[in-house]
Structure 1
Amino acid sequence: MVIQPKIRGFICTNAHPEGCAEHVAEQIRYIKEQPKLNGPKKVLVIGASTGFGLASRISAAFGFGADTIGVFFERPAEKDRTASAGWYNTAAFEKAARAEGLVAESINGNAFSDEIKQETIALIKEKLGQVDLVIYSLASPRRTHPKTGESFTSVIKPIQAPYTNKTVNFMSGAVSEVTVAPATEDEVRQTIAVMGGEDWDFWIHDLLAAGVLAQGAKTVAYSYIGPQITYPIYREGTIGRSKDHLEQTAHELNRLLQDKIGGQAVVSVNKALVTQSSSAIPIVPLYISLLFKVMKEKGIHEGTIEQIYRLYADRLYKEETPLDEAGRIRIDDWEMREDVQQEVDALWNRITEENLAELGDLEGYRQDFLRLFGFGLPGVDYEAEVDPNVPLTRA
């Protein structure tokens, strides 16, 4: 079939297999061009198929020569429907990694479940023995608790008071004002259950109990803080409460791993980037389009792969990992520079639908969004027939 992007709201409902493969290849080429470093050799990535998780897997494999296992929940092609982007990304990654003699195995299923955790442990024992790095990069709107069976749904809302500000439809360019009603107490509770640290805690305890964490193993979960503009709906909203829980979990896991295996657990606060998750948050796409404009002009813009390489090279595998006052890794440091935020604030106060193309980088946002699904990659013929059926196989 000929595959063109199908956009519905803030999501793309299809993906291009050759485009996704090229997107993965671009990231691999970037990593191969960087200085070789000492780092992890056997890595588990939970949430490995897109965004920061995919970049983490690529960086580990092609930057450190690491064998990897990835866990995710993705959709294969069916009849006239393409597979999800994460499915195609993983197929391309596995092919490239195995061509270089690396172990690259994947488990497709509900990472919140006890069954997938136990399947992963069995695969680690079979293929790797132990792992020395666990990346936790899950982003899901729903979770079913593996012990109680209760189902939770997350929401992106402020707490206590409604929040009103500018937002943009990033496909049409329409700038409008949006008001988001405050969350109920139960919505806060459910969002923490989905996006907080409980599942990460379950994973690490299960891996530790099974003896598959190597001596000195590290684990990292990803987070975001962002600017004052987005605080009411992000850091001070339901997601922020979830991230607070995630950070508290990191401190508890860090004490556990230090005691048991001389290991480390830490949260990495990353830069605002175009992801499937960030595209769903009101206000954030407009902020990102302004941020991109400023950071590109200053020559300090990074995508996911550049961010994660810097996380590994300049933070996680330095002789001593630099942490902020709350014990977090900060690779949002360039985004949060005072000069960057001052310029973004100034643009925010001036932005209208009429001047957005001049003051912001909405076109860059759109391009990055489409690339997530394999569209807009150079060298890919999007008018050609392509087979959407790409298998994922065990080596």
Structure 2
Amino acid sequence: MTETVTLSVDAMGGDNAPRAVVHGAHLLFQQHKNACFLFHGRQELIAPLLEEYPALKPVSTVRHCETVIAMDEKPSQALRKGRGTSSMWMAIQAVKDGEAGVAVSGGNTGALMAMATFCLRPMEGISRPGIAAIWPTLRSDIVVLDMGATIGADARQLVDYAILGSALARCLFNHASPTVGLLNVGTEEVKGLESIKEAGRMLTEASGAGFTYHGFVEGDDIGKGTVDVVVTEGFVGNIALKTAEGTARQVGSYLRTALKSNLMSRIGALFATSALNALRRRMDPRTVNGGVFMGLNGIVIKSHGGTDEVGYKSALSLGYEMARSNLIEKINDTMKQFPIKAAPAAIDSESEA
């Protein structure tokens, strides 16, 4: 019998919550019948939605939470207001208590990171948690982190991200020794900030400890899929992510305009419908929605707050895969192999990230 995978869901997180959240869970359950859900939020809003999905209702539990964290609240304010009472906090608490294998939320990113860090605590030897994204490339999907958990990073934190990202790649892509690259302004060893160069030296010494260090990579290497894991700090990573999403929408808009420009273009589009639909699916950011909070004693997935049910289904699917693939154990295994002495974890419950 297939083991049940329980997902703890902040049903109130995001612009289209809770309808898009519950609908997304229904889409996931259609694919994975061993999934069950703990929905945290306002019962009077969630319960009627479950009535619309009779198959989902028996595998769902609603836990009422009156407090909802707003998308524009500062993390420190959200932590004081919602600690122990909000739908976001209770979704994370269920993971800490062992009731669920993963927490998923589309709410305020900074508040979610602050609560997750405070509740689950960083793993031993990890100085700062990071957010990892699954990035489609010309070769295959890769892992990119940090996507905005921490603005700025020293050499030790970049090394942490390499450890975390390689463990995630091993988990998702079944790579025995994922290749890791440091995002830089050039591939030459003399280029870049001192923190990046120092991290490169540390990773060169540690190559083989659960990953293979490739060296520096540039921005275009992300789309090429040059390495399995791209490591950067949160400011650059977040800009790269938003730029890629915007470019995908821009190219899609150009393509739609071109295909409607004249009669011959419209006729050609009819003959190419299958190929165009495949391209549209490949470029749809909703299909790769979900950032993994890495480096904590538990798995937390951040969904894009403005997505719809398709996007929430993608984030929940990512959480499902994380919960059933022993991610935490693989990170710990990589840490044991790592030859550089771990730095003490840094905890900042008042982070404004």
TM-score relative to the length of structure 1: 0.30
Question: Whose RCO is larger (CA < 8 A, sep 6+)?
Answer: 2
TM-score relative to the length of structure 2: 0.33
